[in-house]
Structure 1
Amino acid sequence: MGSTQAAVSFLTNLARVAFGLGAAATAVNASMYTVDGGQRAVIFDRFGGILDETVGEGTHFLIPILQKPNIFDIRTKAHTFSSVSGTKDLQMVNLTLRVLSRPEQKQLPWIFKQLGLEYDEKILPSIGNEVLKATVAQYNADQLLTERATVSALIRSALTERAKEFNIVLEDVAITHLSYGAEFSRAVEQKQVAQQEAERSKFVVAKAEQERRAAVIRAEGESEAAKLISEATTIAGTSLIELRRIEALRENAATLARSPNIAYIPGDQQMLLAMNRP
């Protein structure tokens, strides 16, 4: 009987010790928290509210029940949102903007107090649409294409300034997509077709003009050639006739020389011809 009571007492004490150890382990675990790489913690205290200092990476202690850590991701994140905006010439444009953002580390307590952990989802789409609409309204639809770099820089500058008001740092802002309404797209297509037709007509006119000039130059060349031939014939006409007469006499002399019945008598005047009779 005595041994049974001793065993029960030992088990009871062991259970109390185990419970105490478990409670202590739970208390220790509850008083510790870990901040991973690329994160920061903002501590909420039930008596003091949001503490001004942020907590860096590593394992830290807090007062259980009275304090609670709120973990922020401070790495740069990409956000994409679209906006349908009206241009200066009343055309509707669909723009898609990509933003790389991160929170200002020193201002995390303010961000948590004013905006909460989902600060970027609450702020960036609204100020992004605001800046897009205000910027696009300053340009005509065709200027958004020809001056895209200028428009993108203006949007980035304005959006960066607006984000600073909420302690959000923008690493990059870029227009990833730009499209117009169906009516404007048809108008642009028709304009391109008209420009192509105009260029084709201009080419046809230029070709006809070149052919006309070539015909004029060719006719002038032929006229000049005929004029030169006529002048040459006029200048050398007498000499040419004399040359033809000499050639004819030479042929006649050669013919007579071959004839046996012809004799030649030289003289100072004209040549006398005598015929030998048998």
Structure 2
Amino acid sequence: MAQYARLLTRVALASLGVGGAFAGVEQCLYTVDAGHRAVLFNRWSGIQKDVVGEGTHLLIPFVQTPIIFSVRTEPFVVASQTGSADLQQVTVALRILQRPQVEALPVIYGTFGEDFKSRILPSIVPEVLKAVVARFNAHELITQREAVSRLIREQLTRDAARYHIVLDDIAITELRFGRDFTVAVERKQVAQQEAERQKWVVQRDEYERQASVIRAQGESAAAKLLSDAYKQAGLAHLELRRIETARHIAETLARSRNIAYLPSSGNILLNLGSS
């Protein structure tokens, strides 16, 4: 029984030794994933200047500490309120695609820490927006948005480079003016629409007047042509029309129930108007 207990003790000690060895090895290794880089902080010498790439690397436990940074392009949104050249309050929101300069990661960590973008970008973006937006009035900010965006991109890219940040793209996601200016713009649009409607009404009335004139001219020309035709035809044409009228009246009376007899001799209707 005592021998069995000693055997179990040896097995337990061996297991602890193997487990401790694995734990020690694990503390001596660290992994840098794809799209990331590492900066080593040494408790004795401080931040090391070399940037560690992707993969698994050795580490001195309790002496070195790895700080992992993402070097992928990531979005960052910053909004700021500023004034235009005509003193209108403007709120501009930017969507910035940014990433750190890989070779400058030790400097970035030593100066700004791990959350460097939240400390740098909200500081430089408002100043750039104030400088650019102040060069345009409210109307130009709307009609020349591409030029405004280009100036913001150029100046912000230059300023961010001083802090070792690369800006791959900058886009204006929001351009909002103050309430008073918005109400004024809406009223102006309503007035313009009403002016366009009144202009259309005037044009419609003018077209109708022109149509009436053309119609009257056509009727006058038709009457003149008919009068000229009567003059050329003379009395024969009038006599023919009189005969046609008389025949039409006779046919109408013949179909009426109130007429029982129509004399066949001495056609009175044909002599109407005869001299």
Equivalent-residue separation in structure 2 for 1:217 and 1:176 (angstroms)? 57
Percentage of identical aligned residues: 51
Q: Which residue in the other structure is 1:231 paired with? A: 228
Amino acid at match of 2:153: R
1:221 Cα offset (Å): 1.7
1:42 Cα offset (Å): 0.9
1:179 aligned onto 2:179: no
Gaps of 5+ in 2: 244-275
Query: 1:194-234 deviations in whole A, cap 9, x for unaligned?
Result: 01110111111111111111121122222222333333344
Q: Which residue in the other structure is 1:270 paired with? A: none
Is the contact between residue 230 and residue 237 of structure 2 (CA under 8 Å) also seen in structure 1?
A: no
Equivalent-residue separation in structure 1 for 2:68 and 2:170 (angstroms)? 26
Q: Which residue in the other structure is 1:153 paired with? A: 150
1:186 Cα offset (Å): 0.7
1:98 aligned onto 2:95: yes
- The within-5 A match list for 1:22-171 is 28-171=25-168
Q: Which residue in the other structure is 2:195 paired with? A: 198
Equivalent-residue separation in structure 1 for 2:54 and 2:89 (angstroms)? 48
Q: Which residue in the other structure is 1:213 paired with? A: 210
- The within-5 A match list for 1:250-269 is none
Equivalent-residue separation in structure 2 for 1:75 and 1:234 (angstroms)? 99
Equivalent-residue separation in structure 2 for 1:242 and 1:33 (angstroms)? 120
RMSD of equivalent CA atoms: 3.3
Amino acid at match of 1:100: L
Q: Which residue in the other structure is 1:261 paired with? A: none
Equivalent-residue separation in structure 2 for 1:72 and 1:64 (angstroms)? 20
Query: 1:5-58 deviations in whole A, cap 9, x for unaligned?
Result: xx99xx8xx97x999878766654443322223221112234543222111122
Q: Which residue in the other structure is 1:273 paired with? A: none
Give TM-score scaled by structure 1 length: 0.72
Equivalent-residue separation in structure 2 for 1:242 and 1:177 (angstroms)? 84
Aligned length: 235
Q: Which residue in the other structure is 2:263 paired with? A: none
**Pair 229,22 (structure 1): closer, same or farther in 2 beyond 3 Å:** closer
Gaps of 5+ in 1: 249-278
Amino acid at match of 2:95: R
Equivalent-residue separation in structure 1 for 2:141 and 2:214 (angstroms)? 50
1:120 Cα offset (Å): 0.5
Give TM-score scaled by structure 2 length: 0.73
**Pair 174,243 (structure 1): closer, same or farther in 2 beyond 3 Å:** closer
Structure whose alpha-carbon radius of gyration is higher = 1
